[in-house]
A and B are shown apart, each in its own frame.
Chain A
Amino acid sequence: MMNKSRDWRMWLQTTLIPGLVSCSGCSSLYPVNANGKAFSVIEARLTAAGGVCRIDAGFDYRFTPPVIEALEQGVPLTLVIRFSLAEPRDYWPDRTLLAVSRRLHVSYHPLTRSYRIIYPDTGVMEHFAALSTLIEYLGTLRDWQIPESCTLQAGHHYTARLGVTLDIESLPLPLRPLAYLSPDWHLQSPPWPWPVAG
């Protein structure tokens, strides 16, 4: 179940901000992938067995220079990977069965000149000597076990969606207004939908 307190943040990032920031052309100055987005999901797969769902996915992260600069200046970044499972209905909006997210903090440590990823839900920490290594590591999501019960009924068809976003609300407060107003900070992948058969 998705945390309710995150709902409005998601709404802010997905609905309001794109409206406010119409200067999308500015983002073309910075690296974008083949989809024209800074982040994108390359592939995703859902494995369900015994009421447990596991996700394997590949991501393509293209951080913009201002974001990398902020990271190297000590600003920690929070990435949110969101997964949802919905059952399509005829003439009616899809019924969401499941909506979960996973957060991970990325930070730079000047003393050891290394980059670190922390998963706050598990407390697992990973160290990387270079940002490129970190990004490469982030590009692969292996065996993410969905923390909620997930039973797919046989014969039913579902739509799974996976996406990743840079969480602006987790940035330091002074940076938030600028981040909302600047397209450099709107790093998010479009939801990657794929059909899942029960």
Chain B
Amino acid sequence: MAGRRLKPPLSLSLLGLFLAILASLYLMSTATQNASHLGPLYSWLLLINSLASILLLGLVGANVYSLFNQIKKRKAGSSLTARMVILFTLLTLAPASVVFYFSMQFVQQSIDSWFDVRIDQAMEDALKLGQAALDERMRAVLNQTEEMALHLRDIPESLLSVRLEAVRDDAEDGELTIFSKQGRIIALSGGQSGSIIPDLPEISVLLQVRQGKSYVGLEPYSPDRRQIRVLVAMTGDDPLYLQALHVVPVRLTQLAETVEGAYLHYKEMTFLRRSLKFTFSLTLSLVLLLSLLAAIWAAFLSIRRIVAPVRHLAQGTRAVAAGNYEKRLRVKSRDELGFLVESFNAMTERIALARDEAHLSRQEVERQRAYLATILANLSSAVLSLDGGRRILMVNQAADAMLQIDHQTCVGLTVETLGHTYPHLIDLMERLTRRLAQETGAWQEEMPCTGPRGRQELFCRGTPLLDADGTWQGAVVVFDDVTALIQAQRDAAWGEVARRLAHEIRNPLTPIQLSAERLQYKLAKSLDAPEAEMLERATRTIVQQVEAMKSMVNAFSEYAKPSVVRQEKVDMAKLIEEVVALYPPPSGLTFTLAMTEGLPKVSGDPVKLRQVLHNLIKNAQEAMPMSPPGCIDILTTRVEDNRRHWLEIRLHDNGPGIPPEHRDRVFEPYVTTKARGTGLGLAIVKKIIEEHGGSIQVDSQADTGAGFTIRLPALPGE
């Protein structure tokens, strides 16, 4: 942060940069002025401004590249920045281009307007005039000198000095020198330079004169004066040379130089016209380029600052869309955008609050749902919830055992489809559909159902689900398996009947028997043989029937008596073998025993368990005809069901079997299909097995004969 504070603000840096550019441009434009003392710096300024242009071009290029990349990556705010930059650039470019075009036109036309053919001609003429004036003067001096040379011809060298002085009197101010081929001064007159040694001509001039051509030339005499030099050859055996030096009048020199200066300047200007246009265009272009680039760069910087809050807002919105409600943006300005950012912050805060509340509510609902699901899963009743289209929304685990279905695959099925999927439920589901269609309120009904485990008595309760308008939205149907309850009630009733029978019938039986025996004893002697035989027959019948009734009453008494089960460890395999051993082949029965290895032992009363086996075998024996010999298969295995271990004994005979209509009630007293027996055998079997915590069922899968499946709880660790 300290480092940031040390930095000058961006606007200040920008201002500084623009001032520097402006100053450089100003200096450059000033340097182009003719009289400017900045002229020597022009190249430097040109170079600096060119480098600044390149630098700015690089900066703008980098910014454009960066913006292009941002657009490609679809970064927030990049498109807006691009649009604003393009707009800004166009807005800057349009007026600048117009100004540039007209400025260029103006510069070109202004420069062209400086030059005129007439002035051009005038300048040429003025120069020629000056040249003519000087030529005239030179020609005059030449003529004069040639005349002098003519006069001095053939005069001896000794007299030349005197003659020269005489000739010079005619001439105006000037210097006359006669010298020999070797450069020896013969005569000198009117020395004007103040120097003792006369100013002799260059060797090239001498060479020219030696060839017979006179020389005349204009030379500088002093910084502001000119002199005319004339050199003429004098005839004779030993050629001599006459040189005349004639100073041009000051006035003429000044006039000639003024004309020459103006001419030179004009010529130079004419020559530089193209260069001048180029220079002005270059300067103007550089100014435009630099200004444009600086403006575009400044546009980039300022637009980025303007767009920054929008970009942050977009990023914030994306974060919120992605579920990050903790995103807060820094409020940097107090303008409309700042207000927008503040509103965004407030909005996200509220959303976060709402999200938290919703989360809590969801958690609560979830908890409630889990609680409900646990309760439903652990209910012994099967619960189905249906929607308005009688489609199953939910079914609990208890339904699996009760209705023999897989509750996980049932969700989404309609009640009718469920009936088709599980054919044993067709009747039940039809009744349910009918009931649901008829009832608008709560209802209950007993619905028997015949499934794979036989007949079940289901007690069904339906509760409609209504919305706020009272429209039927579905229903909850609860099934309770009351088969065991009804059976228990039936068993209890039978037990009561048996107890009463035993109590009420047993008492008069003994007096009946005794009375019958007494009758026979007393009357047999007094009756004749046929009558006595009839009496004896009648008495025997009475006694036999009383005995039969007694045994029946005893059986009932046995059935009704609450038994005490002796608990000890019983090896059922051994027990079965012992019981089977009591039925040798003459008994008309053959046994097939199948016992798996490692059978567990059970806890129980061996006497009662032996009675179970006897009863079952006897039941089979009584049901089977004498021939062919009956065959009983006994299969003993160890099974695991519902995480408990059981010893399972399956008995199956090849007798006539049990009619299906009797299968459900075969374990009830006096339900028998046999001609013999008390009808209590299987009831007692069931009673004993249940007293041992086991179960017995009719094996309905058997095709022929009758079969029973007994399950006894295996001892743990066996």
Contact = CB atoms under 8 A, between A and B. Distances in A.
Interface string A4-17: 01001100100010
A51 interface: no
Interface string A167-178: 001001111111
B31 interface: yes
A111 B220 contact: no
Contacts of B275: 172, 174-175, 177-178
A183 to B, nearest CB: 16
A81 interface: no
A75 B268 contact: yes
Contacts of A133: 204
B356 interface: no
B260 A173 contact: no
Given A74-B263, A110-B263, 12 more contacts: A74-B264, A75-B268, A111-B130, A111-B131, A125-B220, A127-B220, A129-B217, A133-B204, A169-B43, A173-B34, A174-B32, A177-B46
B265 interface: yes
B276 interface: yes
A105 B31 CA distance: 23
Nearest to A172: B272
B68 interface: no
Interface string B11-43: 000000000000000000001101000011011
Contact of A176 (B43, B220, B270): B43
Contacts of A112: 134, 218, 226
B44 interface: yes
B134 A73 contact: no
Nearest to B46: A177
Contacts of A175: 272, 275
Contacts of B279: 173-174, 176-178
Contacts of B43: 9, 12, 169, 176, 180
Interface string A145-185: 00000000000000000000000010011111110100000
Contact of B260 (A9, A110, A178): A110
21 contacts: A8-B44, A12-B47, A69-B271, A73-B271, A74-B263, A74-B264, A74-B265, A74-B268, A111-B259, A127-B219, A127-B220, A172-B272, A173-B32, A173-B39, A173-B42, A173-B279, A174-B278, A176-B43, A176-B279, A177-B46, A177-B279
A98 to B, nearest CB: 25
A50 to B, nearest CB: 29
A109 interface: yes
A110 B42 contact: no
A175 B271 CA distance: 10
B218 A173 contact: no
Interface in A5-63: 5, 8-9, 12, 16
Contacts of A173: 31-32, 34, 39, 42, 279
Interface in B246-267: 256-257, 259-260, 263-265, 267
A128 B571 CA distance: 151
Contacts of A73: 267-268, 270-271
Contact of A177 (B204, B217, B226, B278): B278
A15 to B, nearest CB: 12
A64 to B, nearest CB: 15
B523 interface: no
B188 interface: no
Q: Which 9 A-B pairs have the closest CB atoms?
A: A73-B271, A74-B268, A74-B264, A111-B260, A174-B276, A74-B267, A174-B275, A174-B279, A175-B275
Interface of A: 5, 8-9, 12, 16, 69-70, 73-75, 109-112, 125, 127, 129, 133, 169, 172-178, 180
Nearest to A114: B218
Interface size band for B: 35 or more
B646 to A, nearest CB: 104
A174 B276 CA distance: 5
A178 B32 contact: no
A172 B282 contact: no
Given A173-B279, A174-B275, A109 B260 contact: yes
B127 interface: yes
Contacts of B31: 173
A125 B44 CA distance: 32
Nearest to B268: A74
Contacts of B259: 111
A111 B282 contact: no
B639 to A, nearest CB: 101
A70 B280 CA distance: 19
Contacts of B39: 173
A93 B309 CA distance: 58
Contacts of B40: 5, 169
Nearest to B36: A173
Interface string B271-290: 11001101110100000000
Q: Which of A8, A69, A111 has the most CB of B within 10 A?
A: A111
A178 B271 CA distance: 13
A16 B47 CA distance: 10
Contact of B282 (A12, A75, A177): A177
Given A111-B130, A129-B217, A176 B42 contact: yes
B256 A111 contact: yes
Contacts of A174: 32, 272, 275-276, 278-280
Contacts of B263: 74, 110-111
Interface string B159-190: 00000000000000000000000000000000
A174 B44 CA distance: 14
A178 B131 contact: no
Nearest to B130: A111
B268 A172 contact: yes
Contacts of B257: 111
B271 A75 contact: yes
B265 A111 contact: no
A12 B41 CA distance: 12
A75 B219 CA distance: 21
Contacts of B204: 133
Interface in B206-238: 217-220, 226
A174 B46 CA distance: 12
Nearest to B279: A174
A180 to B, nearest CB: 7
A5 B40 CA distance: 10
A178 B278 contact: yes
A149 to B, nearest CB: 29
Contacts of A169: 40, 43
Nearest to B277: A174
Nearest to A129: B217
Contacts of B265: 74
A180 B47 CA distance: 11
